[in-house]
Amino acid sequence: MSLGESLAANLKRGSIVAISGPLGAGKTCFAKGIARGLGITEEILSPSYAIISEYEAEIPLYHIDAYRLENSDAFAAIGGDEIIFGDGISIIEWCENISGFIGDDSIMVEIKILEDDKRSIKIYNKINMSGKENV
């Protein structure tokens, strides 16, 4: 959560944070950290069934869970492109399901589950694949 909170300071209108990782890796926890860093006090829940949840802040936050979406076309059909390419900040869990919407300037977050309940988190953008890895 604290890593997500730190990342929030670098986000601006139009930022896309694309998070990937297996079930239980901590994608929603990372999103909660971003929200906290943006000053959002409302409880952040996984939007699995709603697909998109919106939170009011100085810059609107859109929390998107693409787990149940088959592909980018399904996301476009529900108007997802208007959200992502709008003036808010978008956090996308299960981003690989809608890869057609993940641009080169998106911030990529890969979370892996390690032994002893630890996580490896790699943060980078698609243009600069080197990134930073935290364990």
Q: Could you tell me the end-to-end alpha-carbon distance of the chain, in angstroms, rounded to an integer?
A: 13
Distance CA 64, CA 61 (A): 10
Residues of the chain with pLDDT under 70: 48, 127-135
Instruction: Give pLDDT, residue 128.
Output: 61
Locate the domains of the chain by residue range: 2-130
pLDDT, tens digit (0-9, with 9 covering 90-100), for 89-126: 999 999 999 999 998 889 999 999 999 999 999 999 87
CATH, domain range 2-130: 3.40.50.300
Instruction: Give pLDDT, residue 50.
Output: 81
Instruction: Give pLDDT, residue 18.
Output: 97
Instruction: Give pLDDT, residue 125.
Output: 86
Instruction: Give pLDDT, residue 135.
Output: 46
In the chain, count H helices and then E strands.
4, 7
Cα atoms in the 13 Å half-sphere on the side-chain side of 32: 11
